[in-house]
Amino acid sequence: MTTQAPAQTAATPFGQDANQYTLSFSEEFDSFNSNLWNDHIWYAGSNATKNFTVEDGKLKIWPQRDASGNFFDRTIDTDGKYYQQYGYFEMEAKLPKGKGTWPAFWLFNHINERRPEMDIMEAYAGGNGWGYTDASGIAHPNTYAATVWVGDYDGHQAGFKMYTEGTDLSAGFHKYAVKWEPGKQTYYFDGKEVTTVNVSMNDPMYIMLDLWFGSASGTPDNSTPQGKDNSYEVNYVRAWKFK
């Protein structure tokens, strides 16, 4: 069920002063709401091979080969359906494991030629310095990054921070969040401040949840576990506006 609930019924942002916020978006994943979520990115269609579902109160996206035998990207987003400017954005999730996996939680918009982007969480289990490989040869993520792209031109990166908690991020659920203020964003892991970026990001943005493959995580292969048991599991996504 997707709601825009009044403040008195709202869950509070983890580690924040609840009196500063009003809940504006609450996705608890009781079902998949296609009126709110797309199952593909704006410039491409949806892959016909199903590798996502909503069950047990969670969104699950998992690595899967399609009809051509290749791993493929899956994007779930609110493009054209929900946008917000400023506030506090929080997700609770468990990450997948395996070489090539690249889960992310971000805010984005495509405005003419501009591409403003705030990556609250992206992880690369198969990348050097991003995780470890177990005795079975399976890569596990123990590090993630927060990244800011102003988007005025290609490569306009305003901030980047890798964060290692020392725990396997595929073994349990953790909270990833950003407090987005005019001229400043502060990123959090389980309520602990990870980094602050002092840059103006003024465009309303939509919410993106995705499981892509490649980049720093490498190319997925037969060591990459497929199927629902290795899902990027999202327990909830919530957003608050400042009072």
**Is the residue at 10 inside a domain?**
no
Give how many domains the chain has, as a whole number: 1
pLDDT tens digits, one per residue of 9-25: 458 999 999 999 999 99
Rounded to a whole number of angstroms, the distance between the first and last alpha carbons of the chain is 25
At residue 10, the pLDDT reads 52
pLDDT reading at 5 higher than 70 = no
Distance CA 95, CA 111 (A): 30
Query: Rounded to whole angstroms, what are the CA distances from 227 to 57, 68, 167?
Result: 18, 17, 23
Instruction: Map tokens 């309520």 to a residue.
Output: 191
Q: Kindly provide the residue ranges of all beta strands, DSSP E only, lying in 10-156, ordered along the sequence.
A: 21-27, 52-55, 58-61, 74-77, 87-94, 101-108, 117-122, 131-133, 139-141, 143-149
**Is the residue at 7 inside a domain?**
no
**Is the residue at 20 inside a domain?**
no
**Is the residue at 13 inside a domain?**
no
**Is the residue at 197 inside a domain?**
yes
Instruction: Supply the pTM of this predicted model.
Output: 0.94
Which range of residues forms the domain containing residue 29? Answer: 25-44+54-242
**Is the residue at 110 inside a domain?**
yes
Strand-pairing partners, residue 241, are 22
**Rounded mean pLDDT, 122-131:** 98
Give percent above pLDDT 70 in the chain: 95
- For 218, list phi and psi in degrees, rounded to 5: 85, -175
**Is the residue at 3 inside a domain?**
no
Q: Write the CATH number for 39.
A: 2.60.120.200
**Is the residue at 136 inside a domain?**
yes
